[in-house]
Structure 1
Amino acid sequence: MSALSTVRSAPAPAPAPAAAPEAGWPSPQAVTEVSARLRALPPLVALGDCLELRRRLAEVAAGGAHLIQGGDCAELFAEVSAHTTRRKAAQLRELAGLLEDGTGRPALAVGRIAGQFAKPRSQPVESGPLGESLPVYRGDAVNGFAPTAEARTPDPGRLLTAYELASDIHRYLAAETESAGRRVWTSHEALLLDYELPLARTLGDQHYGSSGHLLWIGERTRQPDGRHVRALAALANPVAVKLGPATTAADVAELVARLDPERAPGRLSFVLRCGADLVEQVLPGLVRAAADAGARPVWICDPMHGNTERSADGRKTRRMTRVAAEIRSFVRVLRRLGEHPGGVHLELTPDDVTECVAGPGDTPGAARYWTACDPRLNPAQARFATAVFIEEAR
């Protein structure tokens, strides 16, 4: 009997409100029906693989390795294929290879892939093409990108499509690993608990999230007493938390207590996303708070989200000068405090997009501005950001 044959659905947690703010489903009954179907489906990842990633992340936490984590801001259902998966995996493997060659340490390749189908949004509505009020696009797992009332109506049936496509991506990645030799681990923000909780599984005495190898909690949902922290605290996966500029030392201490009570290296990663100008002000206190709590997290730099701005024509963009500045400040602060800079978390694509710009005054090119939400680095820009990290971290 195989190990996976003994995997069973975890006991159902206390029900969350059907119209949770991260989704806004219109029909509680439909969510209940979809949850039941998800609980009956096979796990997308194996517990043993999640624990192996924890072991590898423990090496990063100890200073013996690095990681590159990256992928689309929001994966699109229509783009999932063996070809696109192969290209995304190849990009991550290339960047991991650059990290290894540049620092002399092993490097993990972790994708924002096979589950990054949902996005937290700052506002629940936005203006449509005729000035009408429309629900905001929350990712393909929730609603459609087209600016119509029909497309933007949240549909819990999309969670089943997300599962099916994630399963396809995992199958493609497994085939890629056999041919390429370097594994690409999967990760996504565990935003939609109506997806994550039904996919929790139990093997022996351990519960884990079977939707991906590494799950993270976003800046908007990292409240230590919140539903997302409670949900991930019960899982054996490696977990990460995005930390924005308002994060306090007390927040970090409580997140450590709830998510890493055994202080196990590799269990917890903190992903700083505060903006280039605030790293020196914010990061030292958070690092000291984690150390005072007895934790040894993996420290990761997300130089993207704190540096988003609007171009003159109203589109979101990011300046490479600020991306580089945040990476440099991140590594230098950690070095000064005697801590290991674990790696970088980038929104990127293997496509030659023109969504991010070089510096002040530059405008993202409309012809190749293809993102469904936030601007991504193209291959040359991703190599540049990785090179900046290498220059500071080696």
Structure 2
Amino acid sequence: MAENWTPSSWRQKPILQVPEYPDAAALAATEAQLASYPPLVFAGEARRLKKHLANVAEGNGFLLQGGDCAESFAEHGADNIRDFFRAFLQMAVVLTFGAQLPVVKVGRIAGQFAKPRSSNVENQGDVTLPAYRGDIINGIEFTEESRIPNPERQAMAYRQSAATLNLLRAFAMGGYANLENVHQWMLGFVKDSPQGERYRKLADRISETMDFMKAIGITSENQPSLRETDFFTSHEALLLGYEEALTRVDSTSGDWYATSGHMIWIGDRTRQADHAHIEYCRGIKNPIGLKCGPSLQADDLLQLIDILNPANEAGRLTLICRFGHEKVAENLPRLIRAVEREGRKVVWSCDPMHGNTITLNNYKTRPFERILSEVESFFQIHRAEGTHPGGIHVEMTGKDVTECTGGARAVTADDLQDRYHTHCDPRLNSDQALELAFLLAERMKGGRDEKRMVVNG
């Protein structure tokens, strides 16, 4: 157990991005109620994820992490969850083939309700109200009543997370994730995509591989791994009262785990070494993510690594780099070199979303070309440094929204108004997300071919 740590020791530290609840007694009552509820996930599941991530840290796997920018109460439904899971599985299959490595599947789902904000207030005309901080805290409607932080929303978020997890577990283990299903969905995407001819070669190779497996008797009927998949959940651990209420001792090990999700991460705005969010996360045994932006200095990163992963345990810590496509080259190499110099074991993941947000026609958007550019730079730099580009972290949906511009269907600034549904930041739609996976798989395959040529002289 971490020294001088309890699930509530964060309360003695400075804290940022925290809502001001007007009714402290109601907040305490809600947190006490949550503390009596069953865990959403189990310690053994979090340990299994950590083991998978340890393989990624050692260069023997790849992390795909993605999902909603912010989950909402209004859009919760089986169809939305199914459509996300369907798009996510297709991405995972394409990346598995491109990397020739197992892909660890972690959703931003079943808990991704709270959002850090750049301002505490929002202005519309002459009216100023508290900022929307996610459905777990307040409402998105621009009214005084809606924007008051309401602790009852935490119980609503718990119930929605439980329902979402129940459906995801059924999808992952009940046959929906059958590789043959995913393969057919992927072929449908290739057939309908304006860039389908480009992706057909990779899709045909996947088809040939599946035909070969079937020919030698490896099918979903006799191989459970072809009809089932491990799927894990994650979210930003922002609302620490909620996290504390769902922090439990594992009866088999005596260690503390966050049971709100398998993996939680610390945002770029709340990663101060002496503040509450780092204090909370240092004491739980779950895999932890740390967002790394352009302002993070190498020495500060090493200090945070020492706090969060003092045992230098592979799989414990994932560094989620979010620089912006124009700032990767000046920031990523210095962090890689510092971590390598000190021999720290981490997973390197690329978040190409948060540094590439612009405004067009009064809509926040993210150009697909900038997203792809940041991912490509991330891979090129790791190749040059001799380190493993271990994952990507994307905001996406399974729906046909128009929130990010570009991609094969060339979403324009004028198209943004058509289906702009996000409660917070713009997301890749299902086609854009799968397109990103295909393009990344192409580059992964190219990198493997280069290595093979070097080895063979």
TM-score (norm 2): 0.81
What corresponds to 1:194 in structure 2? 241
CA distance in 1, matches of 2:302, 2:145: 44
CA distance in 2, matches of 1:63, 1:11: 33
Deviation track 1:323-346 (CA, whole Å, cap 9, x = no partner) reads: 111001001111111111111111
Residue 61 of structure 1: how far off its partner (Å): 0.9
CA distance change for structure 1 residues 154 and 327 in 2, over 3 Å: closer, same or farther? Answer: same
**Which amino acid is 1:170 matched to?**
L
Segments of 5+ residues of structure 1 without an aligned counterpart are 1-9
Match status 1:319 vs 2:314: no
What corresponds to 1:158 in structure 2? 153
CA distance change for structure 1 residues 291 and 375 in 2, over 3 Å: closer, same or farther? Answer: same
Does the CA-based 8 Å contact 1:221-1:228 persist in structure 2? yes
What corresponds to 2:39 in structure 1? 43
Deviates more, 1:217-226 or 1:26-35: 26-35
Q: Which residue among 357, 368, 377 is the counterpart of 1:308?
A: 357
**Which amino acid is 2:358 matched to?**
E
CA distance change for structure 1 residues 20 and 223 in 2, over 3 Å: closer, same or farther? Answer: closer
Residue 18 of structure 1: how far off its partner (Å): 11
**Which amino acid is 1:323 matched to?**
I
Deviation track 1:142-186 (CA, whole Å, cap 9, x = no partner) reads: 001111111111111111111111111111111111122123210
What corresponds to 1:70 in structure 2? 66
Residue 27 of structure 1: how far off its partner (Å): 2.1
Does the CA-based 8 Å contact 2:15-2:277 persist in structure 1? no
CA distance in 1, matches of 2:9, 2:287: 20
Does the CA-based 8 Å contact 1:88-1:350 persist in structure 2? yes
What corresponds to 1:355 in structure 2? 403
Number of matched pairs: 383
Deviation track 1:196-248 (CA, whole Å, cap 9, x = no partner) reads: 11110001421010000010000000112211111011000000000011111
Q: Which residue among 140, 145, 148 is the counterpart of 1:145?
A: 140
Question: Which fold has the larger relative contact order, with Cα–Cα distance below 8 Å and residues 6 or more apart in sequence?
Answer: 2
Residue 48 of structure 1: how far off its partner (Å): 0.2
What corresponds to 2:163 in structure 1? 168
What corresponds to 1:21 in structure 2? 17
Does the CA-based 8 Å contact 2:15-2:276 persist in structure 1? no
Structure exhibiting the larger radius of gyration computed from Cα positions: 2
**Which amino acid is 2:161 matched to?**
A
**Structure 2 counterpart SS, 1:152:** coil
Deviation track 1:15-37 (CA, whole Å, cap 9, x = no partner) reads: 36899633222222222111111
Does the CA-based 8 Å contact 2:140-2:423 persist in structure 1? yes
What corresponds to 1:293 in structure 2? 342
Q: Which residue among 442, 445, 448 is the counterpart of 1:391?
A: 442
Residue 389 of structure 1: how far off its partner (Å): 2.5
Q: Which residue among 105, 115, 121 is the counterpart of 2:117?
A: 121
TM-score (norm 1): 0.93
What corresponds to 2:208 in structure 1? none
CA distance change for structure 1 residues 367 and 14 in 2, over 3 Å: closer, same or farther? Answer: closer
What corresponds to 2:383 in structure 1? 335
Segments of 5+ residues of structure 2 without an aligned counterpart are 1-5, 178-227, 446-457
Match status 1:107 vs 2:103: yes
CA distance in 2, matches of 1:143, 1:104: 44
**Structure 2 counterpart SS, 1:195:** helix
CA distance change for structure 1 residues 18 and 293 in 2, over 3 Å: closer, same or farther? Answer: closer
**Which amino acid is 2:233 matched to?**
T
Q: Considering only aligned residues, what root-mean-square deviation do their CA atoms show, in Å?
A: 1.8
